[in-house]
Amino acid sequence: MRSSGMEYPHGGAPGIAGVLEKAAVPPMQARAIVQAIEIEIAGAQDVQDVLATKQDLLELRQEFAELRHSTKQDILELRHEFMARLNELRHELTEKITALRSELLVEIHKSASSQLRHLYGALLGQMALLLGLAYFFVSHLSH
């Protein structure tokens, strides 16, 4: 496969070089690409650092399942706390409305009582006036 006579450092990667040669990549570019790949591989401490294994994926899947379960539990707890607080607020609001209604009824009763006293006072005054006028007419017309 080394028909172009390309020399690759560290014994090179003839598989990659062959693919690059078939793709008509100039030898200098092919050498640079192979070197970049080798540097990346050498830079990785371990192949496991570069690629995820099936075990890694299974562990991630398990972690996600645990996280999903934990999140569902948290959501359920928050829902219960929210519903409990909502019921507390509903109860407090009902108590306040009942108290305000009672206060309003007392005020209405006071107002109605006051108006009724004024009405009776006005009726009594009007009757006194009419009786006074009647007495005046009766006493002055009979003479």
Q: What is the pLDDT along the chain (143 residues), one digit of tens a residue?
A: 344 444 444 444 457 777 887 888 888 888 888 888 887 777 665 655 657 788 888 999 999 999 999 999 999 999 999 999 999 999 999 999 999 999 999 999 988 888 989 999 999 999 999 999 999 988 888 76
Residue 90 is predicted with a pLDDT of: 97
One domain, residues 47 and 113: no
Q: Do 38 and 17 meet the contact criterion of CB atoms below 8 Å apart? A: no
One domain, residues 92 and 25: no
One domain, residues 100 and 136: yes
Domain that holds residue 73: 59-143
Residue 26 is predicted with a pLDDT of: 85
Eight-class DSSP state of 9:
G
One domain, residues 47 and 85: no
Q: How many domains does the chain have?
A: 2
One domain, residues 67 and 110: yes
One domain, residues 108 and 92: yes
Residue 14 is predicted with a pLDDT of: 59
Alpha helical stretches, state H, the chain: 14-22, 27-43, 47-50, 54-141
One domain, residues 92 and 135: yes
One domain, residues 74 and 123: yes
One domain, residues 118 and 73: yes
